[in-house]
Structure 1
Amino acid sequence: METTSVFTFIKKYSVIIGILALLLLSGCQQNMAMEPIDPSSAGFFDQYFVLPFSQLIKWIAGIFNENYGLSIIIITLLIRFAIMPFILKQTKNGVQMKEKMNGMKPELDALNEKYKEKKDTESKAKMQQEMMQLYQKHDMNPLASLGGCLPMIIQMPILIGFYYAIRRTPEIATHSFLWFDLGQTDIILTVAAVVIYFFQFKVSQIGMDPKMKQQMAFMGMLSPIMIGIISLSAPSALPLYWAVGGIFMIVQTLISRKIYTTAAASN
């Protein structure tokens, strides 16, 4: 039984929401992203998200001899470490939920077979009642999965704020990092960001139900494609930010899955 709410929608379609956010960011560039951020900028989001990140970028860059590329990397990692506890909790809950679902699957299949040909209202009500009893028997709360949308809700304003801080801090465009100019498009870095995000999507599918993998295949391709399209018309500071964040998520996912899967297997 699947609980329908705005939270389950966000959890189920988190990849789609992320892509729509990228489209929003791309579409808003003409209106907002080219205007330098300063303390006089109006609006709640500018004052409490974009401006603090812009100031932090400049402050950290100043510590490292005006190295804005290193500053972006450091802040990206700090953000990822800050939201990591929520991601780890989500991963742990997901592994535990999967183990419980595997345990109750034979009984769940039998229940579905029992009511397969019964479409009347009374039979549906009885099926739902027996299904709830089955969840209680296996100590499984179907509402627990709603917590999976929390990391998405928390990180979106933070990551969008950092995105605009990069776009609206003019000092970044006047510096270079490694082989590329932070203010100019870099094809190599763009390709790297696309490949990293595609690999990150494949890693996130480890252990996923084959049917769900098939459903998410198109979205897994669309996300890195959109990152590539945006990066081709944006300064290289952005794909740098996406590449570093993607690498962090890959490592985090691999480690957390191994830890929690091993722990679940030993119980």
Structure 2
Amino acid sequence: MNRKKLSRLFPLFMVLVIFLSGCVRRTASGKPYGWVYDNLAVPTQHLLLWLSQQLGNNLGWAIILITFIVRLILMPIMVNQSRKSTIQQEKMASIQPYMTEIQKRSKEAKTQDEQMEANQEMMALYKDNNISMTGGIGCLPLLVQMPIFAALYAAIQYSPELSSSYFMGINLGNKSFALTALTFVIYAAQGYMSMIGLSPEQKKQMQSMLLISPIMTAGITYVSPAGLGLYFFVGGIFACLQTLVIIFMRPRIKKKVAADLEEHPIKTPVRKTKPVTNDGEVENKQATMHNNNRQRNAGKQRHHNNE
């Protein structure tokens, strides 16, 4: 399941990297142009310069203020998404024994039909119990922020005023290893916080995904101007606050899921193929038909020999 999640996140990462480049082109004289630059970067440059004038000619504080406004607007959406994801996690924990049994049969399958049947049972287990195969992961906050990423990237990258500005001794137009490290730490801390209150089985499942988000975000921060890294770092602080909200909500979510399970018990898929009994008698209809065919063929062979 972790590999499936990774396969879904990787294309989003690649799209984000491409989009961050802004699709900005340059003329022969080096002047930037293009739809992204004209419609996103230039207005963002004017906004940042105006905000910096209101904040003591400090572009770093202007970027932080923009980050604060964007994340404040997105906070209800992201908290709601995290709440839904937490509900899915609790439901996943409730069906874990059934998942383990199906996964075991899937690994031990000797034929393609047995493998397919186990996969169908797994899908039915998810569907019948209203559990998302993606674990409640959504892309809306990322999609909403992508134009902001591109606007800030192009604005800082292609503005002489912004690229030569400093904040806390950091050149906002150049790469910053310090901001890259801080971004990695803040998102790693957020990932660690997200595991608080989970069962050991859930923690084990999430361990392989724990560093993916920090590594991806730190990677984008490293190849981007420090101004964008500052946006990511402050966004990581908001992500930690959002996780704290979910930590306080988790006990109530657990009670709600438990109450729902009492009212609507877990639905287990019906196996199409029945197991072999201890006496060695095959109860499967397909196996019975196969035995009948063998008996008929044996009768025909005896009749042929008698002739």
Name the TM-score, length of structure 2 as normaliser.
0.62
Gaps of 5+ in 2: 257-307
Assess if the C-alpha contact under 8 Å between 1:19 and 1:223 holds in 2: no
Distance in 1, matches of 2:26 and 2:184, equals: 26
Does structure 1 retain, via aligned residues, the 8 Å contact 2:156–2:163? no
Matched, 1:77 2:68: yes
1:47 aligns to 2:38 (yes or no) = yes
The answer on whether the counterparts of 2:25 and 2:34 sit within 8 Å (CA) in structure 1 is: no
Question: For the residues of structure 2 that align with 1:29 and 1:205, how far apart are their CA atoms?
Answer: 40
Whichever residue aligns with residue 223 of structure 2, its letter is I
What CA distance in whole angstroms lies between the structure 2 residues aligned with 1:164 and 1:127? 49
Q: Displacement of 1:248 after TM fit?
A: 1.9
**SS in structure 1 of the partner of residue 34 of structure 2:** coil
> How many residue pairs end up in the alignment?
249
Does the Cα contact within 8 Å between 2:19 and 2:146 map onto a contact in 1? Answer: no
In structure 2, the residue corresponding to 1:148 is in which secondary structure? Answer: coil
**Identical pairs, percent:** 27
With over 3 angstroms needed to count, the CA separation of the structure-2 counterparts of 1:144 and 1:89, relative to structure 1, is: farther
Is residue 18 of structure 1 aligned with residue 10 of structure 2? no
In angstroms, what is the RMSD of aligned CA positions? Answer: 4.0
Answer 1 or 2: higher relative contact order, Cα 8 Å, separation at least 6. Answer: 1
1:213 aligns to 2:202 (yes or no): no
For residues 127 and 180 of structure 2, the distance between their equivalents in structure 1, rounded to whole angstroms, comes to: 49
Shift of 1:122: 4.2
Deviation at 1:102, TM superposition (A): 1.2
- 1:218-257 residue pairs with structure 2 within 5 A? 219=212, 222-223=215-216, 226=219, 229-230=222-223, 234=225, 236-255=226-245, 257=246
Relative to structure 1, the CA distance from residue 205 to residue 164 in structure 2 (aligned partners, 3 Å threshold; closer, same or farther) is farther
After the TM superposition, which residues 67-216 of structure 1 pair with which residues of structure 2 at under 5 Å, given as runs?
67-113=58-104, 117-138=108-129, 140-142=130-132, 145=135, 148-180=138-170, 182=172, 189=179, 191-204=181-194, 207=198, 209-214=203-208
- Alpha-carbon distance, 1:172 to partner: 2.4
* 173-182 or 153-162, which deviates more: 173-182
1:168 and 1:147, CA in 2 relative to 1: closer, same or farther beyond 3 A?
Answer: same
Task: Identify the residue that residue 266 of structure 1 maps to in structure 2.
Answer: 255
- Following the alignment from structure 2 to structure 1, what is the Cα–Cα distance between the partners of residues 254 and 153? 40
| Offset of residue 72 of structure 1 | 0.7
In the alignment, structure 1 segments of 5+ residues that lack a partner are none
1:241-261 CA deviation, whole Å, 9 max, x = no partner? 332222222222232x21431
Q: Is the 8 A contact 2:190 2:236 kept in 1?
A: yes
**Structure label with greater radius of gyration:** 2
Query: Comparing both structures, which one devotes a greater share of its residues to helix?
Result: 1
TM-score, scaled to structure 1: 0.70
